[in-house]
Structure formats: C-alpha cells, structure tokens
Structure 1
Amino acid sequence: MIYKSKYPEVAVVDRPVHEWVLGEAARHATRPAMVDVSSGRTLTYGELAALVRQLAAGLAAEGIGKGDVVALHSPNTILFPVILYATTTAGGTVTTLSPLATPAEIAKQLIDAEARLMVSVSALIESARAAVELVRRQTGRDIEILVCDTADGHRSVLGLLRDGDVPTFELDPAVDVAVLPYSSGTTGVPKGVMLTHRNLCTNLEQMNGLHRIDENDRVIAILPFFHIFGLTALVNNALHRGATVYVHSRFDLDAFLTSLERDRITHAYVAPPVMLVLAKHPAVGNLDLSHLRRVICAAAPLDAGLQAAVADRLGVEIGQAYGMTELSPASHLHADGNLDEPVACVGHLLPSTRARLVDPVTGLDVAAGQPGEVWIQGPQVMKGYFGRPEDTDATVDADGWLHTGDIGRVDENGNWFIVDRVKELIKYKGYQVAPAELEAILLSHPHIADAAVIGVNDEENNEVPKAFVVLAPGASITVDEVMAHVGGQVAPYKKIRRVEFIEAIPKAASGKILRRQLREGEPTRP
C-alpha cells in the first residue's frame, strides 16, 4: 500500500538556494549568523550576504559559471556558507569533501565530479596538494587550490572578493544542480548525488511544517557541514530561519559541553554517538541547560532506551529524523511537541511525501504492520547520480520511487521505525537478525561504551552475529559475560556468537558505523 503524509502538502519551491536561504538577510542584517566558537569571530547576516555577492563576482571573473563544479574541502568554518552560496550564485555546483578523506579519496572525487576549482584550508593543504597532484598524473588536468585562510603558494579565496554584478544566466531550479555530495547509496562505491535547487529548497519547506526555528534560536554546529545532515540542518535551514549558528570546526567533548551552556544553545542536531555522551558523561549533570529546548538525532539508528535516558536526564524534547543524501536529505521527522510519539520512532512522513514498504526479495508490498524496504516518492528525491545512469535507475525506479535500502515499519498511528539496512541484515540459519537491535542491547550494559555487530561465517559456513565491543574506561567484562548479557534478552537465533574487544568502532563523520571496515578486517583477524 502507499502511505501518505498526514500533513498538508507544501508548494514546490522553484527558487535558487542562495536566494531562498538568504532572502531575509537584509532584515536580519545586524544579527549574528555564524559564530566561530574557538575565536569568537562573528559574521552577521548583512556581512554574510555581502561576502556571498562579492565572492560570486570574483568566482565569475575567474571563469566559474553555470554547471562548473567547485570542490569544498574544509572543516566547519564560518566561511563555509559564503563559498557555498557564492558558487551557486555564480551558477556553479559545490561538491563537498570530507576533511578526513585521504588524498586518493579526494582525487577520485575531484575526477568523478569534474571539479574546476578546489577550496581548502591550511590545516588540510598537504592532503589537498597530494590529491591535486594525483589528478594531474591521472588526467593531465590542473586544479587550483584556494584557501579560506592563508597558505604559502596559494591564493586566499577572500582575495577574489570584488564589487560588481555577477553575469546573468538562466537557472532552472528543477534541473540545475546546487550541491553534489557523495554517497554510497544502498550499495557500491561513493557516487555524486545531484541535488537541485528545487530539491533543497522544497525539503526545507517540508521540514518547516513539523519543526520550526527562528531568529531567537541558537544552534550548535558539531555535525560536519560537508555531510548532508549538517549542510541542511545547520547551514541551509538555520540561516533560512534567521538563527545564530555556533560553529565547531570538529567535535571536541569539552568544547561541545561548554558551548551548550555558555552560548545558551536552544537546538542541538546530533548523531547517536553524541547521545551516548549526553546520557552517560558525568559533566552533563553539572551544566545549566535551561535554554535547550530540542535535540534531534539522525544519521544512524538510535536505541529507544538511549533516547529515553537523554530525555529524562536533560528534561528536553528528544526526537529523531530519517532520510539519506539521496532525499535532500529528509523524508521523516519527529514533529515539535508531538510528545505521544513512541521513543525510537523516526516520526511521520514529511508533507508532500509518500512511502511504501516492500519485500526486498519479491518486490511486493508487505502486509500492514510488517517490516519492509522503505521506498520514498516526493519532491526531495534526487535528480540522480552524476554520470551514473545505471546506478540511478537501480535506486530510483521508473515511477519515481527511491529504494532506500533501509528496512522499516509503520504502526497504526503512522509512526515510522527504521529496523536496519537490507544489506546489513544477518541471516542466521534462515532467520533475519538486525545488528541495530543487538547493538542497543550491548550499549545498555554499564561496562560497554560502544559496540557494533556484523555477520561472519562460522566453521560450518553459517553466518553468525559477531560483536565488536569498546569497554568503558576502567571497566572489565569477559566474552562470556557479553554473550550472556545479550543472550538473556533475545531469541536463541539472535544470540551473539563471537566477541572481539577493540579500542574504537569505525564510524563516518555522520556517526554511521562503517561495517564494511569491520568486515574487510575479518580475514586478517586472529
């Protein structure tokens, strides 16, 4: 069956993203838009809009125009939105690069995205240089690296600022690509996700119906801007609504906790690892968080017990959201004030969004109340993967349904739950085992700080669940105790059969567990 949002539909927004986000900048001209928490440097809305116009003129003078791709290789900085919106104002597209990417990974994305120009920072300049050299060797193309600060041998991006108008061009918000983030989708290697101006702007309006922030709000920015969650929640949406964004270049626990209190943060957008901190770190209990009104967690599954623990400890509303890069990124969100939603649900369908739950084997819709692969249809569905029509067709079918690769279910009240990913499900003697369920149980043990579960083959070539466990500081627990802790709470076929203690669970900047790294390491593990 087709599930429809219970909320009224929103009109498609056919506006350039820079105009839509900064449309009220003049009204907020003297208000702080971005604050660098480490230096205290502040950009007001008026200064932000002026820099965007001046840099757009400078980029146009450098030959950047419609369809040209600028690669942004940077941690969170207050100049990030300047470069983003200046590029789109000039007609270009921004592809975002992880600050943690290796030169080889950067080079691969630069080549695949056909980047014309790269913007980086001095702290990352060696990786950027090595990547550009790899591009030159492999393609013969030279890509100039500009920096947001200063670095020997490189022009500063601020040196491009100039007065004057940007050359006019025709922009079709429904077709022209604003950002090109990279995602592995449901399978395979990272691919450029083409998100149009319409995708991004309309998704902001879809979320606005459920979650509101305004010029009185202060948002903490610890999620990476290069990731679509951070880009949408902390840059596009926060600036569109006139909020003040407190920018952290990276996640530092002490700086995060200090900023929550000192900067009187009203809204925090986080991934599950930060929820662990909020639930368990002793310093949290000593903070004055009376200004904090809302915490939204997304990017990876969040256990109901952990969500409840944070809500009880902080005394604020905790909600989840769901989406993926290919959805600009949101399709589900816990609505403000909707306190009757059960914990661990990801909320309701956004306005103008439809969904199906499909058996990944048969391709047929599952019965009501049963789990299935989540398919989404709506104006937030990506244009496609850049230069990969086959991958696009494998993800978005002819009727416009995006196959998420995630297993979900919906209850009788329209509350949605994400169970796990299709490719991450473990098949133990024909039974399906969801790693996320076992991980939640593992994390409920007071001696376990973090955990991940994957499927491995036993001596009889059966796939069995294996747990990778990170112990809490000073804690001690045996393999048998780990197995017994889980075994006492699950059906026999869900029991943990292998345990390995490790120092840290590999995760992406978004907070998602990098299970592939754990799987790839298996053949060499003792």
Structure 2
Amino acid sequence: MTIWAHATTMGDLLMRSAERRPDHDALVFPGTRFTYAQVRERALSQARSLAALGVGPGDRVGLLMPNCPDFVFAFFGIQLLGAVAVPINTRFRARELRYVADNADLVVLLTSDIVDDAVDFVARLTEALPGLPEAADPLALALPEAPQLRTVVLVGDKEPAGLLPRRAFEALADRVGEADVLAARARVRLRDVGIMLFTSGTTAEPKGCLLTHESIVRGWSAVASILRITEDDRIWDALPLFHMSCLGPLLFAFDLGATLISMPHFEPGAALELIAAERATWLYSVFPPIAMGLIKHPAFATTDLSRVRGLLNVAPVDTLLLLQEAFAPAVQIGGHFGMTECSGPITCNEWDATLHQRTATCGAAIPGIEVRVVDPETEQPVAPGVPGELQIRGSCLFEGYHKDPEKSAAVLTEDGWLRSGDSGTMDADGMVTYTGRIKDMMKVGGENVAPAEIESHLSTHPDIKLVQVVGVRDERLDEVPAAFVELVPGATMTAGEVVAFCDGQIASFKMPRHVRFVTEWPMSATKIQKFRLREQLLAELAPAEQETRA
C-alpha cells in the first residue's frame, strides 16, 4: 500500500476543505456542530481580530481553554496570520502558567469562562498574573510577570476586569479586511514554526517545543493514510486539544475534509452517548484511562457502536487484546509510538497488520522518519530484537526548545538523531516495540523488570479498570514493584487478591510487593504521572522504614 503524506500549511488545511466541502460537518461538540464553511468564517473573523491587536507572523498567541469550538476557531485564525499557536495545558497551576506566559513571549492570550474539570481559568490566570484585574487598559497590559503580554481575551459571556471581553474582541475584526488575512496566509512558509507545545515538565520547568507546519502536517497526513481514514469518517477524540493526541487528529480530519467529534471533558457515559448519536466511525481513544473507561462503563454493552470500524490505543498487550475483543469486529490499532519533540507520531501499525503486530508492536516508522535502537551507554546500534534506547531522525523533528539551546543540543546527536529516553526493540522487519521510559525500568534483585509486563497481566482482571506499576526502593532487593489499582465501579478487591491474581502467572520477583487502590490519578496532559505515584508511596512508607531502623 502506498502511504500518502504531503506538506502544506495548517491554515490551508481548513481553507481547502472549506472550498471543497463547505456544507460538510467539520466539527461536532455536544449540542452544537459547524460545517467547514462556518469554521472558515469563524477562523477568518478570529484572525482579523487578532491582526487588529497587532498579531503578525511569528508572534506567540496562547490558548488556555478546554476542548471547545472557540479553541478551533482561534487556532486556525492564528495559523492564517502566520503566528504561532501556544496551546497551554489546562492542568497547569498558577506558577506554571506564569512561567509559560513569560517564557513563550506571549503577546496575546485567549482563555474561556467554561469551567473545565473544576478549573476556573480566569481565577487561575488572576493568581498567576496578580496585576491583571487592576490593569488600566486591557489592550495594553504591562505586567511584570509577562512583559510581552499585551492582551488577555476572555472568549465567553463574562466581563471581568483587566480582560478584553468577547464582544470587544470580535468588534475589532471590523478594522482588518478579509483580504489582508488571506494575503498573510499566502506568505506562510512550510518551515515556519506554527505551534509551540510545552512538555509536562516532571522534574524541571516545562519546555516549549517548536514545531513547523511541515513537520506536523507531513506526519499526521501520513497517519491518516496508514490508518485508511477517509473524508467520510467521523472521528471521535476527547483527548485535550492542547496535546497532539487530539490536535493531530483535528489536523488530519481537516486535511481530508472529514468530521472531528469531541467534548469539553471526558466522561465515559456521556462519551458513549455522543459516539452513538453522532455515528462515529473512528475512535482515537489512545490512552488506557479513556479506552478502559469506555469498555468498563455499565452502558458499554447496550450502546450501539456498530458504525465504529477502527480505533487506536496505546496500552500493554493484554489490554489491547481486551479492547480488540470488546470492540470486535472493529479493527484495533495499537502501539502508536510518538513524542512531542517529533510533532507527535513516529511509528504506526498499518490497517492490515496482523493481530500480533497490532498488539505487540508499535508498527514501523512513518515514511520520512527513521528509528534506530542503540545501547544507552555507547549509543552504538544494537542487533534486531536487542533492547536499547529508541532514537529518531527525519522530517518530524522539532526545531529545538524555545530559549534553551543547551537542552536542545543535549537531546540531539551530532548526526541529527533525537535521544528519546524511551526503551524498546526493533525486529528485522523494522517493527518497533516500546517497553517504557529508560528510567522507569526496575531492577528487582538484579533482574530487569518492565512495569508494562505487570500492568498487562493485572489489566485482564475483570474487576480492575486501570493499573499502573512503579518501582520503589527496597533494602533487600534494591527495588520492588508497587501496583496502583483503580477498580471497576461497584467492584471490591483486597491487596491480597491483587497479588494472588499474579501468583503462578508471572515470575515471583515481578509480583507487586505493595498495592494501593486509587480513584483519581495524577495526570499530565494525557498520561498518568508515575513519578507522583512513586512519591506518594515513598512518603507513606518513610515513617515505617525509619521506625524499623530504630
């Protein structure tokens, strides 16, 4: 099969589909929908308002809002001007928001009065930028925390002090003609930076990844081709738009002229209703908290999912097999390996790959991308099947970390390979298997243990909705596995029963020595933050260790 990938600007994705399929559904949210012609009109209006605020090529515009149509309109408005969209993690607290606003050199920030997941964005911004409510002129902010920031726009119904309200922002569009925006669109280059995405920052401040129009569009258009997604597909994706796991599918949907279906906040029951009502054909569920949330919900068995023909998830093998069984006959594509620094996708399984390939591997590298496996110490390539660090090179690579040339240089080899920090293998056919972060691998009594292997087995228990395994220190064995378990609603289990489920099924040194039950997970953009789970358990165990030593 020929994989088609092409390069164009992100603004052109919208403009071309709006010309070709003006009346086709482009964007669907609960209770509202927009055709391509309507999205084009809204995006042009946003671009005109932003241009009236002085936004031009290369300027950074922040987007702090949940998944909603306004995010999409503003995003494409930014792209039409040749400016840089800076989607901001809605989980960031005041300190992180302050850092991003300053580090990214934001000139304008758009936010929403939608309260997402109990987060009041206006209140959080006011905490991050204390001088905002007292600003004399919302068109000319002068905040010491973010000196470049001129305006904060509230895309909503409220009009708090210091922020430019929606009505005033939209009225600014009258000052700039549509022809001026279209002229700006025509000047945008493929190698211009179009998005700055901040990594989650687990041990340091978040890092802004500079991504070009070419690197993003080429990779994601190839993914759509590999997955055989067409203009008639209706793609459901409830992951956050500030992350490539939803922003990428938005872009390939708009490239094809297909339909993206999303929602402000993922809730399994509401998601199942939306999937059925909107006749979704593709589920871009990706991460275990989403996919397992769907199949473990009581309404899953009675929801009409007959139109779903494909879905993509990243999870341990046994979890992927569970999902394949649950959604059969839809084709379950697994192992979509990617990184923010690589504009999202790096490898992807093909539609007609075998079940083993789709569940046990991440697929082969996307055209235009090279992957190799090296010894982490020597950085010399290893033989097929030998584990090592995954390194990446090709059209997908970022332009570096914003304002941080030292960290940019540290992750790149002299010959242009990106050091991923991920461990994995590659077979003789080029099929990649991801085994985890190099730092996440456990050493239990001298034996290497991959947390994913334990997670894979425990996820097969019918009462376990989601499980994460981390390594914690142990005086005798150096490190031992600890399992954090979320149960299916209404289910009950004891720690002993969790351990007993492993007995005789996995090696004894891999069996969890600690089990903790959770109802909420510490999250980054889309992933569970295992380091926080480890910190919580270590803090709990510390007093007992001190007492034992005494």
Q: What TM-score, normalized by structure 1, do the two folds share?
A: 0.91
How much has 1:460 moved relative to structure 2?
Answer: 4.4
In the other structure, the counterpart of 1:161 is 173
2:39 equivalent to 1:26:
no
Instruction: Give the counterpart of 1:221 among 222, 234, 237.
Output: 237
In the other structure, the counterpart of 2:430 is 414
Contact residue 69 and residue 115 of structure 1 kept, 8 A: yes
Distance 1:55 1:282, change over 3 A: closer
Which one is further off, 427-436 or 480-489? 480-489
In the other structure, the counterpart of 1:310 is 323
How much has 1:264 moved relative to structure 2?
Answer: 0.6
Instruction: Give the counterpart of 1:58 among 33, 49, 52.
Output: 49
In the other structure, the counterpart of 1:72 is 63
Following the alignment from structure 2 to structure 1, what is the Cα–Cα distance between the partners of residues 361 and 384? 17
Contact residue 14 and residue 40 of structure 2 kept, 8 A: no
Following the alignment from structure 1 to structure 2, what is the Cα–Cα distance between the partners of residues 109 and 209? 35
Instruction: Give the counterpart of 1:433 among 449, 473, 476.
Output: 449
Contact residue 454 and residue 519 of structure 1 kept, 8 A: yes
Following the alignment from structure 1 to structure 2, what is the Cα–Cα distance between the partners of residues 21 and 398? 37
How much has 1:172 moved relative to structure 2?
Answer: 6.2
Following the alignment from structure 1 to structure 2, what is the Cα–Cα distance between the partners of residues 359 and 28? 50
Question: What are the within-5 Å matches in structure 2 for residues 348-367 of structure 1?
Answer: 348-367=364-383
Question: What are the within-5 Å matches in structure 2 for residues 473-488 of structure 1?
Answer: 473-488=489-504
2:345 equivalent to 1:330:
yes
Contact residue 109 and residue 149 of structure 2 kept, 8 A: no
Aligned residue for 1:23, secondary structure, equals helix
How much has 1:179 moved relative to structure 2?
Answer: 0.5
In the other structure, the counterpart of 2:309 is 293
How much has 1:139 moved relative to structure 2?
Answer: 4.9
In the other structure, the counterpart of 1:383 is 399
Aligned residue for 1:24, secondary structure, equals helix
How much has 1:231 moved relative to structure 2?
Answer: 0.4
How much has 1:160 moved relative to structure 2?
Answer: 3.5
Instruction: Give the counterpart of 1:515 among 530, 533, 541.
Output: 530
Deviations 1:460-499 (A, max 9, x none): 4812221222233343333333223224222333232222
In the other structure, the counterpart of 2:137 is none
Deviations 1:50-69 (A, max 9, x none): 22223212211211011111
Aligned residue for 1:384, secondary structure, equals coil
Following the alignment from structure 1 to structure 2, what is the Cα–Cα distance between the partners of residues 70 and 400? 30
2:158 equivalent to 1:151:
yes
In the other structure, the counterpart of 2:123 is 126
How much has 1:285 moved relative to structure 2?
Answer: 1.5
How much has 1:318 moved relative to structure 2?
Answer: 0.6
Deviations 1:114-166 (A, max 9, x none): 11111011132222232233793535565422122222133214344343333
Which one is further off, 342-351 or 75-84? 342-351
Which one is further off, 236-245 or 211-220? 211-220
Contact residue 36 and residue 247 of structure 1 kept, 8 A: yes
How much has 1:275 moved relative to structure 2?
Answer: 2.1
Deviations 1:308-360 (A, max 9, x none): 22222222101021111111111111222334534232222111221100121
Contact residue 487 and residue 496 of structure 1 kept, 8 A: no
Instruction: Give the counterpart of 2:290 among 263, 271, 274.
Output: 274
In the other structure, the counterpart of 2:418 is 402
Following the alignment from structure 2 to structure 1, what is the Cα–Cα distance between the partners of residues 92 and 498? 34
Distance 1:158 1:221, change over 3 A: farther
Instruction: Give the counterpart of 1:182 among 172, 179, 198.
Output: 198
Which one is further off, 330-339 or 453-462? 453-462
Deviations 1:260-311 (A, max 9, x none): 111110111012222213433332111221111110114xxx1222222222
Which one is further off, 133-142 or 469-478? 133-142
Contact residue 120 and residue 128 of structure 1 kept, 8 A: no
Aligned residue for 2:18, secondary structure, equals coil
How much has 1:242 moved relative to structure 2?
Answer: 0.8
Residues matched between the structures, number: 512
In the other structure, the counterpart of 1:4 is none
Contact residue 452 and residue 505 of structure 1 kept, 8 A: no
Following the alignment from structure 1 to structure 2, what is the Cα–Cα distance between the partners of residues 483 and 134? 53
Aligned residue for 1:22, secondary structure, equals helix
Gaps of 5+ in 1: 1-6
Instruction: Give the counterpart of 1:138 among 138, 141, 145.
Output: 145
2:253 equivalent to 1:262:
no
Following the alignment from structure 1 to structure 2, what is the Cα–Cα distance between the partners of residues 45 and 185? 36
Instruction: Give the counterpart of 1:454 among 457, 470, 473.
Output: 470
- Letter in structure 2 aligned against 1:489: Q
Aligned residue for 2:127, secondary structure, equals helix
Contact residue 278 and residue 310 of structure 1 kept, 8 A: no
- Letter in structure 1 aligned against 2:16: G
Instruction: Give the counterpart of 2:483 among 462, 467, 471.
Output: 467
Percent identity over the alignment is: 29
Q: What TM-score, normalized by structure 2, do the two folds share?
A: 0.87
Contact residue 203 and residue 330 of structure 1 kept, 8 A: yes
2:92 equivalent to 1:101:
yes
Deviations 1:331-390 (A, max 9, x none): 111222334534232222111221100121232212221122111111011111111111
Deviations 1:157-190 (A, max 9, x none): 4344343333656956354210011115897442
In the other structure, the counterpart of 2:118 is none
Instruction: Give the counterpart of 2:222 among 206, 218, 224.
Output: 206
In the other structure, the counterpart of 1:3 is none
